[in-house]
């Protein structure tokens, strides 16, 4: 049943019942109309309370119904208007969540009571749309335009205590919100309801408000780069200031349909569901997320407190897991301890602001140099330098010190997990947990299964990812795994573009206008150019190991761009040295400016190597970089390193600043049309046979020959994966 009704004395309690999150599907909406109508007509009922089953009010409209005929049946706003107009007081009892249409339904009620754990919000913007059941019109009338704009444009989930301060809810209770709502409903029987009907409230407009909205538009354009939904949200809120409620509602509706026509909501909703699907991993043995049991992780350890280790410690602590943090010497331990403690203080401050007690919500952190203290931990995450010999030394130690059933994880960004596992007595307990920087903030976690990794280890690492609030994606073990492997051809193209006449700022601008959070050169400067340089030196692609007589722009018969190597040889490592592809105000500076040195260097380089200059064409920049990424994605699917294109997209959306409104590189390739992607790659490869990464992948050809089937059908065309390790 989609909604039920019972009587508590003279209060009718209508409970939405659509597990797991009480999404307001067509059947729920019909049930609400029926139950609400009957309660309104029932002379025994003097007040009405709305709540949700399973201690969740509602996660809003049923996203799966968008684009189907189900959405066209009774509208949520019609229900909201009926509730608001009710002569009997209506109280929303908010437990767990009231999001999107769920909060809009609650805003139509005359009063709202929330439990202290509840979160409310209008996160529609995150799935490419705007609140479309009156939310953009009622919320500004309730809490004012500036506060409403912040809630709607950022789409954040607001804790109950903050919702109370903002005035979104009337009461927050420690205990049972339903009981409190029933009590409140009884108390307000007979009270006048006019002021509680938000659609009747007037917002007074002044020039400051106009300036505020104009500034918000400019800010949103910069911050959300090409995403249409935040701008539509601002326009809808602007309508609440200038138009009557009903005209504003009409504007909200029009904006919804114009957003839908851009294709961005479809891409973002694909991204939303792909993230949820990523957790439902499958294994070639037939084992799955729901057949394998994860072991509980009660205590953990982190080895190495550098850039990554610090963030990993904070992530674990935020998930209330006590951590032992280890460094190589007293000095490094002190540096790491200071950094971790300062991050922990910030987390504690945030918790205090949310009304929570830090000591009961953060796991303790114990700092030590003694590996002997690790004998009882359930799981260890190694985050020392990216060096195979060092990693092996650490894993040998861990294997002898830790209890036999402890899981040993490595945060390597691309080394062979099997080789690391091979030095332990328990390769089945070894697994890659590849966090992204900063690890306490970035949502992505690549979980890398080795040849011998047990299903329990996979289940445990995937479960830990969820517990840490990450999006964990299970991938296979190959050099650089999925995300970083795809980055190779992308950065290679970016470099070739410089050789052919572009400058770093032009390539970055094109990719940022496409929607990337950061163009490739800004990204390299941030990450540090020395990291890749060290790895290329180790591989003999640059430095002393390169055989005498090797042409400057060729390695192993393929094209090679030595530009980044030359920058590193000049001490230009990026932000950390104050110079890289850009110049910075100081070493460690964040604001990069185009550097005349780089311009001069590129001009001389092109002259020396007599490279033919391409006419400027931003579209070509995007095509070459984005198609190079996707082409490698097809190869990764062929190799069985990612189990589906959706997983690759989740990785790019959450770890590499890919614009979610373009769905991910595989979704993008699909939306551009696989025949077009194939044609572009074929032309490029024909003209540049020394760039093997642009040779169209076999799977791409196969799918293009089928006319580019929908992305959900690609899985069936992959065939038997070949692990190329
Ligand atoms: N519609 C349909 N299905 C939904 C849904 C929704 N609004 N919200 C969640 N689900 C589904 C998920 O796909 C998942 O399904 P599965 O079990 O088959 O994979 C299941 O519910 C559980 O979701 P999560 O795995 O995400 O569970 P969590 O507990 O981690 O998170 C949540 C719960 C915070 C509610 C999160 O799911 C979420 O953020 N949901 C989306 C909320 C949202 O965007 N609401 C706005 C909808 S649009 C709208 O309301 C338009 C209105 O203005 C008219
Ligand atoms: P880092 O250089 O910032 O930190 C490494 C830390 O390990 C240092 O503090 C060092 O003192 C410590 N260490 C070295 N030997 C040790 C030992 N024997 N015992 C205990 N501690 C020891 O390195 P970073 O960037 O944190 O990288 C760590 C790992 O994470 C590497 O494998 C790297 O490839 C990977 N990674 C790095 C990312 C990044 O953006 N920096 C992103 C994702 C993964």
Mutate to test the pocket of ligand 2, among 310, 330, 343, 383 (most ligand atoms within 8 A of CB): 383
d(CA 70, CA 476): 39
Tell me which residue has its CA closest to atom 18 in ligand 2. Answer: 328
pLDDT of res. 716: 86
Does 725 have pLDDT greater than 70? no
* Percent of the chain topping pLDDT 90: 92
d(CA 593, CA 583): 5
Q: Are 417 and 410 in contact (CB under 8 A)?
A: yes
Phi, psi (rounded to 5 degrees) for 430? -100, 135
Residue 197 CA: distances (Å) to CA of 131, 355, 699: 18, 30, 57
d(CA 664, CA 277): 15
Which ligand 2 atom is nearest residue 387's CA?
32
Which position has the token pair 């394998």?
Answer: 292
What is the pairing mode between strands 97-99 and 3-8? unpaired
DSSP 8-state secondary structure symbol assigned to residue 451? S
The pLDDT-based confidence of 181 (bands split at 50, 70, 90) is very high
Q: What are 212-228's pLDDT values in tens digits? A: 999 999 999 999 999 99
Q: What would the two tokens of residue 106 be?
A: 């609650």
Which of 201, 133, 144, 191 shows the shortest CA–CA distance to 167? 144
pLDDT of res. 723: 45
Which ligand 2 atom is nearest residue 412's CA?
32
d(CA 71, CA 363): 44
Q: Are 259 and 125 in contact (CB under 8 A)?
A: no
Does 203 have pLDDT greater than 80? yes
Phi, psi (rounded to 5 degrees) for 5? -135, 140
Q: What would the two tokens of residue 490 be?
A: 């992308």
Q: What value does the CA radius of gyration of the chain take, rounded to a whole number of Å? A: 28
Q: Give, in degrees to the nearest 5, the angle at Cα 174 between 168 and 180.
A: 70
Three-class DSSP category at 300: strand
Three-class DSSP category at 433: strand
**CATH superfamily placement of domain 3-262:** 2-enoyl-CoA Hydratase; Chain A, domain 1 (3.90.226.10)
Residue 214 CA: distances (Å) to CA of 125, 203, 211, 218, 684: 19, 17, 5, 7, 44
Which of 76, 218, 78 shows the shortest CA–CA distance to 153? 218
Residues whose CB is less than 8 angstroms from the CB of residue 694 and which lie 6 or more positions away in sequence, other chains included? 489, 493, 627, 628, 631, 681, 684, 685, 688
d(CA 190, CA 200): 19
Residue 524 CA: distances (Å) to CA of 488, 572, 580: 12, 11, 8
What is the pairing mode between strands 11-16 and 3-8? antiparallel
pLDDT of res. 356: 79
> Which of the residues are catalytic?
104, 124
Say whether 501-608 and 293-475 share the same fold.
no
pLDDT of res. 724: 41
Which ligand 2 atom is nearest residue 310's CA?
26
Residues whose CB is less than 8 angstroms from the CB of residue 422 and which lie 6 or more positions away in sequence, other chains included? none
Name the residue ranges covered by the structural domains of the chain: 3-262, 293-475, 501-608
Phi, psi (rounded to 5 degrees) for 368? -160, 165
CATH topology of domain 293-475: Rossmann fold (3.40.50)
Q: What are 349-375's pLDDT values in tens digits? A: 988 887 778 888 999 999 999 999 999
DSSP 8-state secondary structure symbol assigned to residue 391? H
What's the mean per-residue pLDDT of the chain?
A: 95
Q: What are 466-482's pLDDT values in tens digits? A: 999 999 999 999 999 99
Residues whose CB is less than 8 angstroms from the CB of residue 115 and which lie 6 or more positions away in sequence, other chains included? 94, 95, 96, 160, 172, 173, 174, 175, 176, 177
Q: What are 107-153's pLDDT values in tens digits? A: 999 999 999 999 999 999 999 999 999 999 999 999 999 999 999 99
User: Got the DSSP string for 337-378?
Assistant: HHHHHHHHHHHHHHHHHTT--HHHHS--EEEES-GGGGTT-S
Q: What are 626-672's pLDDT values in tens digits? A: 999 999 999 999 999 999 999 999 999 999 999 999 999 999 999 99
Ligand of minimum distance to the alpha carbon of 413:
2
User: Ligand 1: residues within 6 Å at CB?
Assistant: 20-21, 23, 59-64, 76, 97, 99-101, 104, 123-124, 127, 131-133, 135, 273, 276
- What mean pLDDT do residues 572-589 have? 97
Does 378 have pLDDT greater than 60? yes
Q: Measure 272 CA to ligand 1 centroid, in angstroms.
A: 9
Residue 3 CA: distances (Å) to CA of 13, 18, 25, 568: 10, 8, 11, 65
Q: Measure 383 CA to ligand 2 centroid, in angstroms.
A: 5
Q: Measure 303 CA to ligand 2 centroid, in angstroms.
A: 8
Does 100 have pLDDT greater than 50? yes
Question: Which helix or strand (DSSP H or E) is residue 472 part of?
Answer: strand 471-476
What number of other Cβ atoms are within 10 A of residue 526's Cβ?
Answer: 15
The pLDDT-based confidence of 614 (bands split at 50, 70, 90) is confident
The CATH number of domain 501-608, selected from 3.90.550.10, 3.30.379.10, 1.10.1040.10, 3.90.226.10: 1.10.1040.10
Tell me which residue has its CA closest to atom 35 in ligand 1. Answer: 59
- What mean pLDDT do residues 476-504 have? 97
- What mean pLDDT do residues 693-719 have? 93
Which of 71, 61, 145, 134 shows the shortest CA–CA distance to 99? 61
Residue 127 CA: distances (Å) to CA of 66, 233, 275, 584: 11, 12, 12, 36
Residues whose CB is less than 8 angstroms from the CB of residue 243 and which lie 6 or more positions away in sequence, other chains included? 251
Q: What would the two tokens of residue 179 be?
A: 């009981």
pLDDT of res. 722: 46
* Percent of the chain topping pLDDT 70: 99
Residues whose CB is less than 8 angstroms from the CB of residue 723 and which lie 6 or more positions away in sequence, other chains included? 476, 478, 639, 640, 641
Residue 47: exposed, middle, or buried by beta-carbon count in 10 A (0-12, 13-18, 19+)? buried
Q: Measure 597 CA to ligand 2 centroid, in angstroms.
A: 32
Which of 623, 529, 607 shows the shortest CA–CA distance to 568? 529
- What is the CB-side half-sphere exposure of residue 139 using CA atoms within 13 A? 36
- Residue, of 351 and 102, whose pLDDT is higher: 102
Q: Are 626 and 662 in contact (CB under 8 A)?
A: no
User: Got the DSSP string for 594-631?
Assistant: E-HHHHHHHHHHHHHTTPPPPPP-HHHHHHHHHHHHHH
Residues forming beta bridges with residue 382, ordered by sequence position: 303, 410
Residues forming beta bridges with residue 582, ordered by sequence position: 594
Q: What are 689-699's pLDDT values in tens digits? A: 999 999 999 99
CA 122 from centre of chain = 17
User: Got the DSSP string for 202-271?
Assistant: PPPP-HHHHHHHHHHHHHHHHHHTT-SHHHHHHHHHHHHHHS-HHHHHHHHHHHHHHHHHHSHHHHHHHH
User: Ligand 2: residues within 6 Å at CB?
Assistant: 303-309, 326-328, 332, 336, 383-386, 390, 394, 411-413, 434-437, 527
Residues whose CB is less than 8 angstroms from the CB of residue 302 and which lie 6 or more positions away in sequence, other chains included? 309, 312, 313, 316, 323, 324, 325, 326, 380, 381, 383
- What mean pLDDT do residues 431-438 have? 97
């Amino acid at each position: 049943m989609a909604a039920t009704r019972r009587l508590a004395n003279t209060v009718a309690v209508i409970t939405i019942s659509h597990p797991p999150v009480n999404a307001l599907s067509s059947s729920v909406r019909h049930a609400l109309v029926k139950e609400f109508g009957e309660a309104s007509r029932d002379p025994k009922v003097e007040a009405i309370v709305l709540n949700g089953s399973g201690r969740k009010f509602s996660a809003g409209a049923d996203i799966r119904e968008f684009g189907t005929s189900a959405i066209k049946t009774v509208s949520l706003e019609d229900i909201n208007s009926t509730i608001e107009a009710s002569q009997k007081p209506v109280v929303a009892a908010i437990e767990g969540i009231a999001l999107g249409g769920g909060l809009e339904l609650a805003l139509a009620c005359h009063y709202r009571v929330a439990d202290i754990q509840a979160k409310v919000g209008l996160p529609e913007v995150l799935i490419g749309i705007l609140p479309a059941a009156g939310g953009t019109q009622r919320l500004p009338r309730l809490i004012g335009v500036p506060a409403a704009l912040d809630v709607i444009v950022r789409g954040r989930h607001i804790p109950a205590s903050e919702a109370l301060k903002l005035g979104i809810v009337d009461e927050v209770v420690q205990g049972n919100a339903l009981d409190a709502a029933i009590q409140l409903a009884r108390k307000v029987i007979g009270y006048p309801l006019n002021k509680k009907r938000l659609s009747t409230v007037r917002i007074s407009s002044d020039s400051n408000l106009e300036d505020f909205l104009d500034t918000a538009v400019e800010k949103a354009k910069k911050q959300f780069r090409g995403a249409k939904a935040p701008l539509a949200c601002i326009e809808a809120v602007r309508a609440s200031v200038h138009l009557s409620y009903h005209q504003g509602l009409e504007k909200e509706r029009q904006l919804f349909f114009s957003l839908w026509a851009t294709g961005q909501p479809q891409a973002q909703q694909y991204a939303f569901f792909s993230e949820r699907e990523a957790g439902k991993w499958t294994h070639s043995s037939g084992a799955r997320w729901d057949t394998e049991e994860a072991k509980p992780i009660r205590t953990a350890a982190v080895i190495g407190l550098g850039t990554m280790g610090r963030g990993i410690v904070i992530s674990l602590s935020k998930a209330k897991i006590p951590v032992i943090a280890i460094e190589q010497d007293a000095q490094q331990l002190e540096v790491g301890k200071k950094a971790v403690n300062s991050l922990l203080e910030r987390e504690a401050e945030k918790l205090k602001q949310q009304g929570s007690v830090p000591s009961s919500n953060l796991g303790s952190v114990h700092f030590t140099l003694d590996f002997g203290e690790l004998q009882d931990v359930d799981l260890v995450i190694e985050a020392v330098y990216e060096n195979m010999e060092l990693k092996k030394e650490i894993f040998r130690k861990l294997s002898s010190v830790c209890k036999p059933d402890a899981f040993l994880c490595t945060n390597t960004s691309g080394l062979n997990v099997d080789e690391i596992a091979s030095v332990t007595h328990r390769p089945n307990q070894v697994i890659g947990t590849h966090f992204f920087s900063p690890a306490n903030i970035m949502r992505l976690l690549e979980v890398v299964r080795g040849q011998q990794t047990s299903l329990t280890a996979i289940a445990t690492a995937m479960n830990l990812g969820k517990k840490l609030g990450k999006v964990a994606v299970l991938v296979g073990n190959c050099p650089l795994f999925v995300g970083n492997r795809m980055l190779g051809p992308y950065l290679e193209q970016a470099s070739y573009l410089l050789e052919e006449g572009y400058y770093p700022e032009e390539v970055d601008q094109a990719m940022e206008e496409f929607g990337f959070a950061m163009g490739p050169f800004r990204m390299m400067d941030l990450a540090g150019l020395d990291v890749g340089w060290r790895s290329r030196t180790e591989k003999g692609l640059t430095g002393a190991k390169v055989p005498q007589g090797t042409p400057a722009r060729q390695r192993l018969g393929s094209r090679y761009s030595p530009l980044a190597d030359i920058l590193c040889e000049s001490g230009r490592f990026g932000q950390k040295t104050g110079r890289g592809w850009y110049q910075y105000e100081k070493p460690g500076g964040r604001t990069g400016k185009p550097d005349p040195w780089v311009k001069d260097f590129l001009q001389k380089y092109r002259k020396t190597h007599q490279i033919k200059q391409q006419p400027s064409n931003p579209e070509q920049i995007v095509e070459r970089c984005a198609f190079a990424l996707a082409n490698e994605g097809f190869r990764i699917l062929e190799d069985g390193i990612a189990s589906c294109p959706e997983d690759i997209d989740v990785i790019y959306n959450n770890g590499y600043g890919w614009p979610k409104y373009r769905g991910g590189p595989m979704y993008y390739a699909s939306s551009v049309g696989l025949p077009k992607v194939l044609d572009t790659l074929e032309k490029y490869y024909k003209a540049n046979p020394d760039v093997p990464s642009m040779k169209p992948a076999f799977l791409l050809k196969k799918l293009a020959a089928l006319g580019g089937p929908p992305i959900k059908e690609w899985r069936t065309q992959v065939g038997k994966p070949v692990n190329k390790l």
